[in-house]
Structure 1
């Protein structure tokens, strides 16, 4: 595809809308979604021609070789792994000042790669980003973030993992806000500067619901910790039985840890779930070492039982302190990003409300200007003045008819204004 004016730089504003998020795969670090990307730019004089009607079409093989009527920004999604379906169309809109804008709408469904941050797993907040760039040179096009409309996400059409049978209705919670930012080229990149037009990244956020992992992972490991204390019910002279029972619990904990890690990607840091499970494994190892030392005094029954009581008391105190500390740190650390995202949701709703209110007020004023005033009213400072009319130009009969029609016309203006505000 070639542009109609390739030698001039174009400013293209990008807006990314999330229509549906159908799946989030933590192990593969990707998500499936349906998005709508809108690109807006100003056409050059004479570019549109006489016919500026909307043209729609679907991307098919062989269509990219034909020269389009509109300028082609050659947009690409850098983090798209596989696109299953896509459709595009153009439309032309005119503003109040008779200035025209060309819109390219690109609707597609596919899988997108996302580098997940799993430090706070299983109560983590993840970004689901769409990275839009252009195949054109930086001298031909400059990508900007759309400033006239806010990017949106359809919260009601969020179906990620809702069909999984678990304790909660779904695994993820979707926030309402969407953020867009312009990422320029990095100076330290190996690519020659100016060869790309930068990136426009749209981000929506999701939070993982942790109830499922607490019930199926942490609760199971906690049961192993409690069962390890029952080993002290054996007599001190059966110390080899104690060691055997401790090793069995250790093997169960290690096998369970490996099964949980199989559902996570290979990462170079520990998650909060890893910290707890490794702490349980370390505790079981220490317990087995204690049994080995107690075997030295197993022949002295009184001393061995006293040592068992002291050991169990110390282990219970340490276990309570460790679990309370872990719970406090886990909740406090994971609440920070969740609180930030909820605050952004509130700001996004306020900005959206102001934008809709400003738009509706402009539409109401335009409609009010299009409705002619009553025949017996005079417009003064933008307001209708009923009763101010000239008796020389109006007969008494027409004045009475106009006076009777005045409240009807005013009610028409009010009804149309209320209808537009309801939209």
Structure 2
């Protein structure tokens, strides 16, 4: 069975090694010897490196399960599967055993984890037909990850969900790349927050440099950020917050039905609706983190508040005018101004949040095509392999 690692963001310190045919994993001490079987496989895309050169390490991720997305505390829960593979020339001539104390290791860890991670690891040694040998680690990681939420388009926002894989080695010693021949994946059928979010299927891999301080001075560490995305389902917020606020503003127009001379009645109705709208504003504040900028929903509610304030100012001065024509003009003017503001907010949503959603949906389609091409190529390879075996027998 897979061996458990220490419960932290660290993925590995010393490699635990497993043959592809065997199931049990032996956690090796620095002076232990490694027994392994040589496995034929299709050549990975990693080119061989000479000793002392910058090592090329390929990484692949599968988001096996994504749990709660907490925008207030800016984090999300997830279970991920990581494959890490690199060329190991020291094993090219090995037949059965090798001293593991001299083996190179990428020393990877998850940079944006929160608290301890539940971690299991398996290791395979792969020898391809050309004779090159590769070490491949498989990590199962579960925990909570930090993510800086962008809420300017709330509740039409799309959030990045990122797992950052980083190496403790300096950037001059390691080069992290996304695994080219096997695409990353997101398993959407295990998503636990589907009532509030729509989980996208694509994964973007971005190389980065993380600056850190150590006892020998500042260092640059190589990192790879794997990002999938989730789009908020905005119907709940539009119906329960914005629509209610819109109805309150519409009801405020009923004050014009009262006699102009009954100023106290008009002001009482307007102030009641204003205080109710302010209460809804506090409800929204409890749904999102404390940020230094306004969201789209904030702007919509503040616009409704401003509209109600203007109505109160008008009603407080309307007693000076006796003309019904001025009253009718005020009704038309306030209605036109309000719906003009609603149209401006709608255009902002279309030009900002919706445009980003369309671009992300296009990424989903491209990723699905890539997965289909990979599945088709894998099926053709298995079919050709089966045919060659039958011909050989």
Q: TM-score range by the shorter chain?
A: 0.7 to 0.9
Pairwise mapping of residues 46-85 of structure 1 onto structure 2 (< 5 A)?
Answer: 46=91, 49-51=94-96, 71-85=104-118
Cα distance in 2 for residues equivalent to 1:112 and 1:244:
49
Task: Give the equivalent residue in structure 2 for 1:307.
Answer: 326
Aligned residues: 346
Task: Give the equivalent residue in structure 2 for 1:175.
Answer: 200
Pairwise mapping of residues 236-247 of structure 1 onto structure 2 (< 5 A)?
Answer: 236-247=260-271
Cα distance in 2 for residues equivalent to 1:350 and 1:129:
22
Within the candidate set 63, 75, 79, 1:34 is matched to: 79
Task: Give the equivalent residue in structure 1 for 2:128.
Answer: 95
SS at match of 1:196: strand
CA-to-aligned-CA distance 1:89-137 (integer Å, 9 cap, x gap): 1112233334322111111111111111112111111110111101122
Pairwise mapping of residues 346-385 of structure 1 onto structure 2 (< 5 A)?
Answer: 346-372=365-391
SS at match of 1:371: helix
Task: Give the equivalent residue in structure 2 for 1:184.
Answer: 209
Cα distance in 2 for residues equivalent to 1:52 and 1:34:
34
SS at match of 1:176: coil
Task: Give the equivalent residue in structure 2 for 1:14.
Answer: 59
Cα distance in 2 for residues equivalent to 1:51 and 1:74:
25
Q: CA, structure 1 residues 190+287, in 2 after alignment: closer, same or farther (shift >3 Å)?
A: farther
Within the candidate set 101, 105, 109, 2:138 is matched to: 105
Q: CA, structure 1 residues 213+354, in 2 after alignment: closer, same or farther (shift >3 Å)?
A: same
User: Gapped runs of 5+ residues in structure 1?
Assistant: 54-66, 163-169, 375-423
Residue 138 in structure 1 maps to residue 163 in structure 2: no
Task: Give the equivalent residue in structure 2 for 1:203.
Answer: 227
Task: Give the equivalent residue in structure 2 for 1:45.
Answer: 90
Residue 343 in structure 1 maps to residue 381 in structure 2: no
Instruction: Report if aligned partners of 1:81, 1:111 keep a CA contact under 8 Å in 2.
Output: yes
More strand by share: 2
SS at match of 1:195: strand
User: Gapped runs of 5+ residues in structure 2?
Assistant: 1-12, 16-29, 31-49
Cα distance in 2 for residues equivalent to 1:35 and 1:48:
34
Residue 151 in structure 1 maps to residue 177 in structure 2: no
SS at match of 2:121: strand
TM (norm. structure 2) is 0.80
Cα distance in 1 for residues equivalent to 2:103 and 2:245:
62
Cα distance in 2 for residues equivalent to 1:219 and 1:318:
18
Task: Give the equivalent residue in structure 2 for 1:329.
Answer: 348
SS at match of 1:27: coil
SS at match of 2:287: coil
Cα distance in 1 for residues equivalent to 2:89 and 2:392:
40
Instruction: Report if aligned partners of 2:152, 2:293 keep a CA contact under 8 Å in 1.
Output: yes
Cα distance in 2 for residues equivalent to 1:193 and 1:47:
36
Q: Which has the larger radius of gyration?
A: 1
More helix by share: 1
Instruction: Report if aligned partners of 2:114, 2:145 keep a CA contact under 8 Å in 1.
Output: yes
Instruction: Report if aligned partners of 1:6, 1:140 keep a CA contact under 8 Å in 2.
Output: no
Within the candidate set 218, 243, 254, 1:219 is matched to: 243
Q: CA, structure 1 residues 255+367, in 2 after alignment: closer, same or farther (shift >3 Å)?
A: same
Displacement after TM superposition at 1:190 (Å): 8.0
TM (norm. structure 1) is 0.75
